Structure 1
Amino acid sequence: MRCVTELRILDLTKEYRGGRRAVDSFSLTLRPGVLGLLGANGAGKSSLMRILATVTRPTSGRVLWEGEDVARRPGPLRRAVGYLPQDFGVYPQLTAREFLAYLAAAKGMRRRAARARIEELLDLVNLSGAGGQRLGAMSGGMRQRVGIAQALLNDPALLIVDEPTVGLDPEERLRFGSLLSGLGADRIVVLSTHIVPDVAATADRIAVMGGGRLLHHGSPEELLRTAEGAVWELTVEAGQLALLRSRFLLGGTTRTPQGVRVRVLSGQRPAPEAQPVAPRLDDAYLLLTAPATAERVAAW
């Protein structure tokens, strides 16, 4: 059993040229389990992930791994981290085994230990029968599973995966989520994404990012509670949809024989015929991150 690990992020800020803050005074403590890091594109998730993976340095603030400042002693975290970046690149002419062997050698692993570890990981990501297949001939989902395997070569205590399911079909996304859930049993897994269902199926903790800041952190149930009493449904004619959208934040629409069934996110009943419904995680996420359009008018 792996010892309990802890990663502390303290008032972290990352600025780029022109003064743009990608990460702004971000603080969070992580322990074993799966953290779903939710945020729209541009929210600062990838910048934060690169800092945690020691690929880049913060402008200010600190990252503590097992109580030690990573800026002063990056070695322990670098040895403990596995990283699957959003722009994970592969050598298309190499087979999965060749690619993993190349990376194992780059990490300084002994050849015999690397061979055993590669076979173990190919089995873990359900690619045992495809280890001899060239990466260029694999599907996007298979290549992402090779990406997870390379991130796990050093049996990391901290696994960081940045937007791993973009472009994957629903079946591959479910398989990927199941794999990450299992890996979170005895290590810290950070899953960065803007796809709410992926987090709902995988994470035991959720952090919502917006404008580089931490907007919310808690369990999925705690995030759901932030939307209680603020989700409504009503049916309108198709011609009324544009006006409704201009006045309220909409969580989704469904065409029905009676008209368009609309999910409205608002702190007040948007129309007399609107009925309250139970919130979903994507409702709570939208309420936290979208502009406050729902309160700009008094009534529909």
Structure 2
Amino acid sequence: MRVSMLRLELIKSFLLAAVSTILLFLSGVAIPIVGVLMIPLVPQPALAFGLKWGRGHGAVLVALVAFLLALFGGKELALGYSLLALMVLLLLFSFGRDWPIEAVVAGTAGGMLLVASAVLGYFFGSFTLMQRVLRATLTENLEISVKVYEKVGFSGESLEMLRERAPQIIDVVLRIMPALAFMAFVTVILINLFFLYRRFPHQHASFVAAGDMREWKSPEPLVWCFILAGFSLFLPAGEWLKSLALNLFLIVAVFYFLQGLAIVAYYFHHKNVPYFLRSLAYVLIVFEQLFTLFVVGLGLFDLWGDFRRLKKKDLNPSQAS
């Protein structure tokens, strides 16, 4: 009797997670602008299901969803979902191994970036063709944005400046595309981990190494990657090497941004800052460039400044004194 009840609960959870995943994904694809906000939530039902019922069941779930999307929606929809499905599989694989959160996030985002690059390379056949198609797509999207800004009422001078600088903007975006993709993957992964933390408050240790996220810090050797990548930008080297260094520099900067964000959250928590002011500060950090750079600097110089006094906490009483 007990086995039958468990099996029935498993089937119900499986169907609910599958339907939720499909609805979230189709809503994200079909609904303009607002739908994009739903895309990061697409992996959540499968992750929660896999965390509760095991990796194998989670893998079957994402495989079934991909098959149904391919069957009824076409290869394009299935291919679009496959990257999120890969994220689910990589996260489920990393859960329960007592890995630190930076290893889980970086490993998953890195795996997604490698697979996405391989798939794009396979479909386009050459880097030149892929760059040409991406350039055309970005140019078209930029033109659409300019038309929208024109209708909203932006000044003609600003729009003309945007049109003039469009080729340079597109060149920069294409150059840092790997870093931008990595940042996007990290954001989606962290959003899903945040919701898993909320849904399973007593199971944190079952998917990442336990610890207060407000006390998180990036691995200390990472600073050498940051310094070497930054130094390489000024070397008289080829464009490909400079592009590689720039992308590595930006990817490492993501981790120092997250460390800076952890420092901000640490002091907000310990100083009991009202939630309204916290929300306002986070909005400024995300959307205001100066605040973003300040948080990156905060994370970087925490290596020497130890702004949360974490090193002192790790000492025994005689050492601390």
The answer, yes or no, to whether TM exceeds 0.5 is: no
Q: What's the TM-score once normalised by structure 1's chain length? A: 0.27
Structure with the larger helix share: 2
Q: What's the TM-score once normalised by structure 2's chain length? A: 0.26
Highest relative contact order (Cα 8 Å, sep 6+), 1 or 2? 1
